[in-house]
Amino acid sequence: MSSPVVTRFAPSPTGFLHIGGARTALFNWAYAQHTGGTMLLRIEDTDRERSTAAAIDAIIEGLTWLGLGWAGEPVSQFGRAARHRQVAEELLAQGKAYRCYCSPAELDAMRAKAEAEKRPIRYDGTWRDRDPSEAPAGVKPVIRFRAPQEGETVVDDRVQGRVVIPNKDLDDLIILRSDGNPTYNLSVVVDDHDMGVTHIIRGVDHLTNAARQTQIYLAMGWRVPEMSHIPLIHGPDGAKLSKRHGALGVEAYRAMGYLPAAMRNYLARLGWSHGDDEIFSTEQLVEWFNLESIGKSPARFDFAKLENLNGHYIRHTPDAELLQALIDFLPHAEGGKAMLGRLDDAMKAKLLKAMPGLKERAKTLVELMKSAQFLFAARPLALDEKAKQIIADGGAEALKSLVPVISAVPHWQAHDLEAAVKAHAEAAGLKLGKLAQPLRAALTGASVSPGIFDVLEVLGREEALDRLADQVR
Ligand code: GLU
């Protein structure tokens, strides 16, 4: 039996959890779930100047919101520096690494020479075979990895295929700086090994690192994890993803009113596919997810598609569940706190009743919240410009004759209210719109809303008649 799968998500907390990172996390999570394995979380916080506690919080909150859980406590890479140093010393002791005493001036000269000769900049191996007794006094050395110079390094990538990098292109990497701090590629290898990671799934921008890391694994005699380097995310026009096109933090998507389930579905389709399936549940994703179906070409992020998909999820979420999603959303939404303040049990009941009408039109929770706003409005309602116009242009008169008809309806229920209003329109020789428009304006303060008879029913007899009376005075 092969050992259980262990994946990891390893973000650098130098910014928020952006959409590409969320997709990487999703793939790691889905693969672990699919195989019955686990996903670990490692915070790569070694850049002390750029790493912030706020970014760590945002990553954890973003993953939690997306429903992508990890096993155990998050691992701090910085907290493991002593272990990284220990491995650097071990490589040194085995002759697989060496001390380099080059001064900054010497390295500058090396760089200038390479540039003049139009060669790629590489460390020239000055200290590779030099006797340490020649070390200049008072210079703190770095430790460099003694990379193989002949042959090639192969990354057998599950997505990119067999990637072959000539060893002459990989110079002797610094693994420990002169101040004793480990460098990135060493830390990643030691952590992945110690954490028992079996599968590395990350952005293709780490492919060159993968070759360097492979060399370190081999030098330590450690098993190289399975590697999958996934394509980048581009904008709908094929160019690098810009802010306008979606290069935002996950919290921005939350504030725009997307549902986590819709996000998971959408992100899964960025680079991975299951036939032509566009809409699938998280359970199906877990059942189907594999590394073989990750594509090689860049995925295209398209806001319009995400929005349509989200609309689908909103329409198909059971009313009570959607109400809860809306309530959870309010603290994160602009203007949501005011609504939260008026959200008592009676209001919740009204919202639940209105939900079938509300959710038909909303593509996001923001739209759902906006179309539910009329329920929360305090009397007398502040009408928007269009609604004011409707009331002024004969709407008030139309309501005046309509109110007695409506108040006489015995069962305050959409169907009966509709029948009464229709009969009145017919008798008065009016088009239904001539009555529906002023009703909508008076009851919701706007010129668009869910079905007006549903609105009447949901508001309840007293509140509805009071709102109408406010406009016919
Ligand atoms: N910390 C790296 C990043 O945020 C990921 C490193 C890795 O997955 O190996 O890009």
Q: How many angstroms is it from 10 CA to the middle of ligand 1? A: 5
Structure confidence by residue, pLDDT tens digits, 21-69: 999 999 999 999 999 999 999 999 999 999 999 999 999 999 999 999 9
- CA of 205, closest atom in ligand 1: 10
| Catalytic site includes residue 243 | yes
Compute the distance between CA of residue 379 and CA of residue 465 in angstroms, rounded to an integer.
11
Q: What is the DSSP string of 17-70?
A: -BHHHHHHHHHHHHHHHHHT-EEEEEE----TTT--HHHHHHHHHHHHHHT---
Q: How many angstroms is it from 204 CA to the middle of ligand 1? A: 10
Q: Is the pTM of this model over 0.85?
A: yes
SS3 88: helix
Domain boundary among 172, 203, 230: 230
Please tell me whether residues 204 and 107 are part of one structural domain: yes
pLDDT above 90: percentage of residues in the chain:
88
Q: Is residue 220 part of a domain?
A: yes
CATH number at residue 432: 1.10.10.350
Residue 182's DSSP bridge partners are 176
Tell me the average pLDDT across 146-158: 97
Q: Is residue 379 part of a domain?
A: no
Which amino acid, 286? V
pLDDT at 1: 54
Please tell me whether residues 92 and 207 are part of one structural domain: yes
Structure confidence by residue, pLDDT tens digits, 89-129: 999 999 999 999 999 899 999 999 999 999 888 898 999 99
Q: How many angstroms is it from 249 CA to the middle of ligand 1? A: 16
Compute the distance between CA of residue 270 and CA of residue 285 in angstroms, rounded to an integer.
13
Domain boundary among 230, 256, 284: 230
Please tell me whether residues 188 and 325 are part of one structural domain: no
- CA of 21, closest atom in ligand 1: 4
Evaluate: CB of 195 within 6 angstroms of ligand 1: no
Mean predicted lDDT score pLDDT of the chain? 95
Residue 436 has pLDDT above 90, yes or no: yes
Q: How many angstroms is it from 255 CA to the middle of ligand 1? A: 26
Q: What is the DSSP string of 129-188?
A: SS-GGGPPTTPPPEEEE----SSEEEEEETTTEEEEEEGGGS---EEE-TTSPBPHHHHH
Determine the structural domain holding residue 165 and report its residue range: 78-230
Evaluate: CB of 188 within 6 angstroms of ligand 1: yes
- Is 8 within 8 Å of 189 (Cβ atoms)? no
CATH number at residue 250: 3.40.50.620
pLDDT at 442: 97
pLDDT at 290: 98
pLDDT at 16: 86
Tell me the average pLDDT across 348-356: 94
Atom 6 (ligand 1): residue with closest C-alpha?
10
Q: Is residue 38 part of a domain?
A: yes
Q: Is residue 306 part of a domain?
A: no
Contacts of residue 8, defined as CB under 8 A and 6 or more positions apart, other chains included, come to: 28, 39, 40, 41, 42, 192, 195, 197, 200
Tell me the average pLDDT across 170-189: 96
- 8-state DSSP, 229: E
Please tell me whether residues 163 and 207 are part of one structural domain: yes
Lowest mean pLDDT among 71-75, 227-231, 353-357: 353-357
Please tell me whether residues 82 and 222 are part of one structural domain: yes
Evaluate: CB of 206 within 6 angstroms of ligand 1: yes
Q: Is residue 238 part of a domain?
A: yes
pLDDT at 449: 87
Please tell me whether residues 153 and 223 are part of one structural domain: yes
Q: Is residue 307 part of a domain?
A: no
Please tell me whether residues 337 and 449 are part of one structural domain: no
Please tell me whether residues 93 and 193 are part of one structural domain: yes
Domain boundary among 187, 210, 230: 230
Q: Which of 44, 155, 233, when mutated, tests ligand 1's pocket best, judged by the most ligand atoms within 8 Å of its CB? A: 44
Structure confidence by residue, pLDDT tens digits, 240-269: 888 778 788 999 999 999 999 999 999 999
Lowest mean pLDDT among 25-29, 377-381, 439-443: 377-381
C-alpha distances in angstroms, 310 versus 373, 414, 420? 20, 28, 37
Please tell me whether residues 93 and 138 are part of one structural domain: yes
Q: Which of 206, 213, 227, 228, when mutated, tests ligand 1's pocket best, judged by the most ligand atoms within 8 Å of its CB? A: 206
For the chain, what's the residue count?
Answer: 473
Evaluate: CB of 44 within 6 angstroms of ligand 1: yes
Q: Is residue 378 part of a domain?
A: no
Please tell me whether residues 208 and 266 are part of one structural domain: no
pLDDT at 422: 96
Structure confidence by residue, pLDDT tens digits, 386-431: 999 999 999 999 999 999 999 999 999 999 999 999 999 999 999 9
Evaluate: CB of 45 within 6 angstroms of ligand 1: no
Contacts of residue 114, defined as CB under 8 A and 6 or more positions apart, other chains included, come to: 120, 121, 122
pLDDT at 80: 98
Q: How many angstroms is it from 233 CA to the middle of ligand 1? A: 16
Compute the distance between CA of residue 115 and CA of residue 109 in angstroms, rounded to an integer.
10
pLDDT at 15: 85
Q: Is residue 311 part of a domain?
A: no
- Is 59 within 8 Å of 17 (Cβ atoms)? yes
Please tell me whether residues 358 and 267 are part of one structural domain: no
Q: How many angstroms is it from 401 CA to the middle of ligand 1? A: 69
Catalytic residue among 243, 348, 363, 386: 243
What's the domain count of the chain? 4
Tell me the average pLDDT across 425-445: 95
Residue 453 has pLDDT above 60, yes or no: yes
Please tell me whether residues 239 and 347 are part of one structural domain: no
